[in-house]
Chains A and B, each alone.
Chain A
Amino acid sequence: MDHEYVIEMNNIRKEFPGIVANDNITLQVKQGEIHALLGENGAGKSTLMNVLFGLYQPEAGQIRVRGEDVSITDPNVANRLGIGMVHQHFMLVQNFTVTENIILGSEPTAGAGTINLKKAEKDVKEISDRYGLRVDPKAKIEDISVGMQQRAEILKTLYRGADILIFDEPTGALTPPEIKELIQIMNNLIGEGKSIILITHKLKEILEVCDRCTVIRRGVGIGTVDVADSTETSLAEMMVGREVSFEVEKEPYQPKETVLSIKDLYVEDSRGVDAVEGLNLDVREGEIVGVAGVDGNGQTELVEALTGLRQAKKGTIHISGENTTSFKPRRVTQTGVGHIPQDRHKHGLVLDFTIGENMLLQTYYEHPFTKNGILNYNTIYEKAKELIEEFDVRTPHEKTMARALSGGNQQKAIIAREVDRSPKLLIAAQPTRGLDVGAIEFIHKKLIEERDKGRGILLVSLELEEVLNVSDRIAVIYEGEIVDIVEASETNEQELGLLMAGGKKEEGEPAT
């Protein structure tokens, strides 16, 4: 082997009309290493990987695979070179089996145009066993957990002979045990001589699994470092370009009156199955109560019932002493509840409205924004401008379409809107999902500021670290019930992890 690097991308430049997405970026991946590609949202990570995968052609720079100059003109060329991509959003046909998905596009035939499914299943099983993927080749995609779907995606690239695997933000949709499992799988892959590029903005993951790390910031390559010599702080600084604090600073909490009181609440999910079953929880003014739990234990339905988006089946919800159980969303809002929704594109924003219009989405009908049924855009945009300034929303103009803003700034706009209405109770569902370090820091600070102003805050998050750092009390939700409430200062990740698992059998076991 006369080449040191299995992949070299030297001085890559990629432009789009009006912006330079990649400017002189160099990425060199050694044989058998896990190489992290770190950067904030919109830094140019995906663009760089799409160049490597043949979806974009670079304006300048050179790509070498195993020491040889190559020109990757389309994804088929990338496939032939042994480059495989595990996408963030899985590319799977829901009602096909794992095997059917894997052979899609390269089906082994048994003559006369029929597919040799038996052989394919055997091959898939073999690869699955070799790398410890534990995937049932005959299971239908729609029936298996997100973790197993991802492993099916990994299998797909391996089945096609990839030995350089690109993982695009692989842990976003996974539960903590699934993440552990994925890390194990990555190590197995390396053990078998594969190389991995891991695209991420999660620093902990990098420190845990990666050998080296290349950082890009706003399209520019900042450098490559050995992970062994790095700390979370040093990586974050490289990524953001300034010092970042991870410790969320806050005074001890001083709770007062109860602002939210949930008693014996039952809520059905969309299929009519009880997702929340007999849930009890109180939130007081001046405290942050974190709801920790694995995804799908009733968090979404709980939040929807609290905010009026879903009708509770049984039980009561009191907000500031008022029974709001059967209130519609607007009445809940008027009771003094702010809601940062879990999916900002689905619920939080009208993407084709301007950012200014979005900031008044909850209050547009009030005086002085509406007079006699006519909107007063002057006051609307004046108000929006104030909020944009106060919450540091980076937008070229208050009349810019919400769609054009980055995720972090979209989220800031939502938070500005919800906090500004001065609610007594703020319900924040996954407020930092998909955001980068800088934005997360800002949002955590805001939540604590609101707490100190005497508001009650209910924080629902799948990020254990976030719940631990920001909350004052932590309520663990499991199968629609609060199984325990602990003081944040007296617990740790291990204890919470145990409570969250609830002794339940781990999901994703292959059927035996």
Chain B
Amino acid sequence: MSDMIRGRLMNILIPLIAIFLAFLAGAVIMLFSGNDPIQGYAALISGVVGEPYDFGETLMRMTPLIFSGLAVAFAFRTGLLNIGVEGQLIVGWFTSVFVGLIIDVPMIIHLPLAIAAGALAGALWGFVPGILKAKFEVHEVIVTIMMNYIAMHVVNSIIRGQLLESGQRTGFINPSASLESQFLSELTQFSRLHWGFFIAIGACIVMWFILWKTKRGFELRSVGYNKNASLYAGMNVKGNIVASMSISGAFAGVGGAMVGLGTYQYANILPSFTNIGFDGIAVALLGASTSLGIFLAAFLFGGLQQGANMMQAGAGVAPELVEIIIALIIFFVASGYIIRWALGRMFSKKEEK
């Protein structure tokens, strides 16, 4: 039993140590580039929690990251690498805004409809690689990467051709489809925090529930761990692969809807990827593909993005440093094996004494 407890402890310790090491390395870089690391990090922290506004913006930033993290983790639990969260998020964003623009019905219908449209679009974008994988064994990584480009360019071209209102974007969605919250905004000195944050918390619970409490989740996890045994046990392995990619895409699509209906109220021509989907890979990795872990990891990454502004303004540290720290966190989490090994040695040394 002590082994089990130790295993759990390791799972929590490794991400924490990875974060610590990444910040340590970031401090060294700051020293070499002639900045004061203490001042730099103080600025970073105050950029997150210094003012209610900063905190509100952090929560706003972490909202879509939660969804993209959940999307990556959900597919990963079924043994699939969904690199297409970015594209699924983009189509979800666009579709929800589209529904928000062209329909005019009461909020109680309109808002759920717009979010559902985003989910559906994302699910469709996940379904395609899913079915290709199940039917023809086309590797999902290749297909999802390509689907990202298709998503971005198709959406851009539709906006450019049909929906362009001012400059590079569509018009604002009808208020009946908006997630905007005057209450939350006023609470945080008029940040862009919106109701989507609570929907994201709900999504964490939904993922946990599907995976660990439902029959479908049991099958998805079983297929993820061992396809042969799942087939032997009479599960529909191919069907579960398609389902997993579709559900994963739906999470991403709702994430896009949060951006479209909450943060911006419109969709715009994207000059490049949003990176929210790709950051989802890091969030899922750091969060060990668990709901709670993803929530915390999304908070960290959202905070880093938000705090980066203050680092430049308050301590003169280039915001790129934050990107480096994020990259280092991923690096150290990915080298979790080395940390595990080092911890293992420390533990066994202690026991000998």
* Chain A residues packing against B (C-beta within 8 Å): 17-18, 307, 309, 328-333, 339, 341, 346-353, 357, 361-362, 364-365, 370, 373-375, 396-397, 400, 404
Contacts and interface: CB of A to CB of B under 8 A. Distances in A.
A429 to B, nearest CB: 11
B218 A374 contact: no
Contacts of B78: none
B234 A350 contact: no
Interface stretch (B48-56, B158-166, B225-233): B225-233
B229 A349 contact: yes
A346 B229 contact: yes
B2 interface: yes
Contacts of B226: 346, 349-352
A330 B222 contact: no
A350 B231 contact: no
A339 B229 CA distance: 12
Nearest to A307: B232
A55 B348 CA distance: 18
Contacts of A349: 226, 229
Interface stretch (B13-21, B129-137, B209-217): B209-217
A330 B228 contact: no
Interface centre among B2, B4, B216, B233 (most CB of A within 10 A): B233
A435 B104 CA distance: 69
Contact of A348 (B214, B216, B229): B229
A283 B106 CA distance: 68
A357 B234 contact: no
B347 interface: yes
A348 B232 contact: yes
A348 B213 CA distance: 23
A400 B1 CA distance: 9
B3 interface: yes
Given A350-B225, A353-B225, A375 B231 contact: no
Given A329-B234, A350-B229, A357 B347 contact: no
Contacts of A357: 218
B112 to A, nearest CB: 22
A362 B2 contact: no
10 contacts: A18-B3, A332-B234, A333-B234, A346-B226, A346-B228, A347-B232, A348-B232, A352-B226, A364-B218, A375-B217
Given A17-B351, A350-B222, A374 B2 contact: no
Given A309-B232, A348-B229, A400-B4, 18 more contacts: A17-B348, A330-B233, A332-B234, A333-B234, A339-B232, A341-B232, A347-B229, A348-B232, A350-B222, A350-B225, A350-B226, A353-B221, A374-B214, A374-B215, A375-B214, A375-B218, A396-B1, A397-B1
Contacts of B225: 350-353
B234 A330 contact: yes
A365 B232 CA distance: 15
A333 B348 CA distance: 47
Nearest to B233: A361
A307 B232 CA distance: 8
A396 B4 CA distance: 11
Contacts of A375: 213-215, 217-218
A329 B213 contact: no
Interface in B217-255: 217-218, 221-222, 225-226, 228-235
Nearest to B7: A401
Nearest to A347: B232
Nearest to A19: B3
B214 to A, nearest CB: 6
Contacts of A353: 221-222, 225
Nearest to B209: A374
Contacts of B2: 18
Contacts of B218: 357, 364, 375
Interface centre among B1, B2, B232, B347 (most CB of A within 10 A): B232
Given A18-B2, A18-B3, A396-B1, A364 B215 contact: yes
Interface in B262-304: none
Contact of A328 (B1, B230, B234): B234
Nearest to A376: B213
A162 B69 CA distance: 55
Interface in B312-353: 344, 347-348, 351
A329 B228 CA distance: 12
B245 to A, nearest CB: 20
B219 to A, nearest CB: 8
Interface in B1-59: 1-4
B234 A362 contact: yes
A347 B3 contact: no
* A-B CB proximity, top 9 nearest: A330-B234, A347-B232, A329-B234, A361-B233, A352-B225, A350-B226, A370-B215, A350-B225, A346-B228
Contact of A347 (B1, B222, B228, B351): B228
Nearest to B235: A330
Contacts of A374: 213-215
Contacts of A18: 2-3
A371 to B, nearest CB: 9
B177 to A, nearest CB: 31
Nearest to B226: A350
A291 to B, nearest CB: 19
A373 B209 CA distance: 11
Nearest to A331: B234
A365 B219 CA distance: 10
A404 to B, nearest CB: 8
Contacts of A404: 3
A309 B229 CA distance: 11
A112 B126 CA distance: 55
Contacts of A331: 234
A309 B227 CA distance: 12
B210 to A, nearest CB: 10
Contacts of A332: 234
Nearest to A371: B215
Interface centre among A307, A361, A396 (most CB of B within 10 A): A361
B230 A350 contact: yes
B304 to A, nearest CB: 32
Contacts of A17: 344, 347-348, 351
Contacts of A346: 226, 228-229
A307 B229 CA distance: 13
A400 B2 CA distance: 12
A494 B94 CA distance: 75
A201 B344 CA distance: 32
Contacts of B233: 329-330, 361-362
A411 to B, nearest CB: 14
A347 B229 CA distance: 4
Contacts of A341: 232
A361 B215 contact: no
Nearest to B234: A330
Contacts of B234: 328-333, 362
A161 to B, nearest CB: 34
